[in-house]
Amino acid sequence: MFQFMTATRIIFGEGALNNSFSIFNNYGYSALVVTGRDDQRADSLLAYLSQQNIRYQRLAVHDEPLIAMVEEMAAAGRLFKPDMVIAIGGGSVMDVGKALSALIPNQGSVYDYVEVVGRALPLTAKPLPCIAIPTTAGTGSEVTRNAVMISAQENVKAAIRSPDLIPDVAIIDPTLTYGADKSLSARCGMDAFTHLMEAYVCGEPNPLTDMICEEGLRRLAPAIIHACEDDDPKARADMAFASMLGGMAQSNAKLGAAHGLAAALGAVLDAPHGAITAQLAPYVMAENILAAREAGRISLLNRYRQLACILTGRMNAEPSDGIVWVQRILRRLDLETLPQLGLCDTMFEEVAVSALRSSSIKGNPLPLSESRLIHILQQVCQFSNLEESSDPV
């Protein structure tokens, strides 16, 4: 048995936003609009709301959201009493929008509803209608049921998670991702890759998420370089589509150790989520393949083999070829390494312990001990430092 949930309505394509404005009229007369900092991509939407006499209040999300910041925004939102929440921006913006849509009509604080560091209570009141509009191709948050934020007190990332958190409408317009700089596009794209990869090999896939992951990886593999380096419209569209599929996959299957470790690292490093998952992905793949060999998990090794075939386009690929593909893409995209982002060996134990508490790690295809997680972090640092020292000066 399995179930599958996603946004009620998905509108996808070039120009989708400007062609879908009338949808906002279906949801009432006032909107809380969550955006990134100084995001001009929201201008046409705000002009439409004004023209239609839809009252709005704009809230800007500057960085990865802290629980305290979401708490303040929820208080402001409750005073404003919106009929709907519109979130236009990257993953953090959409996550905050989804969290606010749930928190505004419900009593209590963020800690009442957040997992891991809070009480994880079920939502009693239905969230406000939420329309999510991604401007990056990475998180797939427009179709997921979780809203991730950072607990500064416990130094960990945690989420509010509920099927009711899935946006009512996802408007995915690849033109909104045009012109994004290479490093932002690269880390978002590699986060989308990590969602598809982890959901494909996770402990609880289902036939629909398998199909979605395979198509997402097929689209992403040839597109990621062209999207990031050339701003190629077809590649941008494929990345936006793959990102959405990654969101569907992670929301209906599970993730794994890359996201488990990223949840812990995201709270201690001042670094974007995608930059962290990108660097962890090949080493988590390697550790899982090693553990699968030791445990004789043939079916899991076959999954990694199939993953490698899709990524490389070669029918005779071996599981390790998938790792090589990821490392090659990472070198080409020239993303910052985790040591450059502040990871050092004194953090390993704390990060591994914290990762074991994360919800993502429970989806890893096989259980990884604290020492195996530390081994992953050691490998990440060792090979990153080797690459740096071998760079031509």
Shortest gap between Cβ of 8 and Fe ion (angstroms)?
23
Minimal distance, residue 194 CB to Fe ion, in Å: 6
Whole-number Å distance between alpha carbons of 70 and 95 = 10
Would you mind telling me the total number of residues written for the chain in this entry? 393
| CA 252, 146, 26, 46 torsion-angle sign | negative
Least spacing, CB of residue 312 vs Fe ion, in Å: 23
- Assess contact for 84 and 61: CB atoms under 8 A: no
Site for Fe ion contains 95 (CB under 5 A): no
Q: Which is nearer to Fe ion, 31 or 326 (CB)?
A: 326
Smallest gap from Cβ 341 to Fe ion, in A, equals: 16
- Pattern 55-94, binding to Fe ion, x per CB under 5 A? ----------------------------------------
Sheet holding 130-134, edge to edge: 9-12, 169-172, 130-134, 84-89, 30-36, 55-61
Pick between residue 95 and residue 191 the one whose CB is nearest to Fe ion. Answer: 191
Residues of span 320-359 touching Fe ion by CB under 5 A: none
Which one of 94-102, 186-194, 285-293, 361-369 is the stretch in contact with Fe ion (CB under 5 A)? 186-194
Q: Compute the distance between CA of residue 339 and CA of residue 168 in angstroms, rounded to an integer.
A: 40
| Cβ closest to Fe ion, residue 64 vs residue 191 | 191
Task: Work out whether the CA dihedral 380, 381, 386, 389 comes out positive or negative.
Answer: positive
Asked if residues 37 and 62 have their Cβ atoms less than 8 Å apart, the reply is yes
Nearest to 273 by CA among 36, 92, 87: 92
20 or 250: CB nearest Fe ion: 250
Nearer to Fe ion, 176 or 199 (CB): 199
Cβ of residue 45: shortest distance to Fe ion, in angstroms?
26
Considering beta carbons, is residue 32 or 186 the nearer one to Fe ion? 186
Do residues 357 and 116 touch, judged by C-beta distance below 8 A? yes
In angstroms, rounded to a whole number, what is the distance separating the alpha carbons of residues 308 and 251? 23
Give least dist CB 304 to Fe ion, A.
20
Applying CB under 5 A, among 142, 191, 198, 214 the residue interacting with Fe ion is: 191
| C-alpha separations of 374 from 283, 284, 345, 348 in Å | 11, 11, 9, 6
| Residue range at the interface with Fe ion (CB under 5 A); choices 127-135, 185-193, 284-292, 307-315 | 185-193
Ranges of beta strands (E only) in the chain are 9-12, 30-36, 55-61, 84-89, 130-134, 146-151, 156-161, 169-172
Alpha carbon distance 39, 60 (integer Å): 9
DSSP state string for 343-369: --GGGHHHHHHHHHTSSGGGGSSS---
Query: What stretches of 261-388 adopt beta strand conformation (E)?
Result: none
Residue span binding Fe ion (CB under 5 A) among the ranges 47-55, 183-191, 355-363, 373-381: 183-191
Binding residue count for Fe ion, defined by CB under 5 A: 1
Taking the least distance from each CB to Fe ion, the nearer of 191 and 214 is 191
Least distance CB 74 / Fe ion (angstroms):
24
CB of residue 276 vs Fe ion: minimum separation in angstroms? 9
Give the Å distances, CA to CA, from 20 to 88, 167, 366: 14, 16, 44
Q: How far is the CB of 243 from Fe ion (least distance, A)?
A: 10
- CB under 5 A: which stretch of 106-114, 123-131, 189-197, 375-383 binds Fe ion? 189-197
Instruction: State the minimum distance, in angstroms, from the CB of residue 192 to Fe ion.
Output: 8
Nearest-5° Cα angle at 262, 181 to 318 = 85
Q: Which one, 191 or 238, has the nearer CB to Fe ion?
A: 191
Residue in the shown chain whose Cβ atom is closest to Fe ion: 191
- Using DSSP, state whether 71 is helix, strand or coil: helix
- 208-227 residues in contact with Fe ion (CB under 5 A) are none
Q: Which residues bind Fe ion (CB under 5 A)?
A: 191
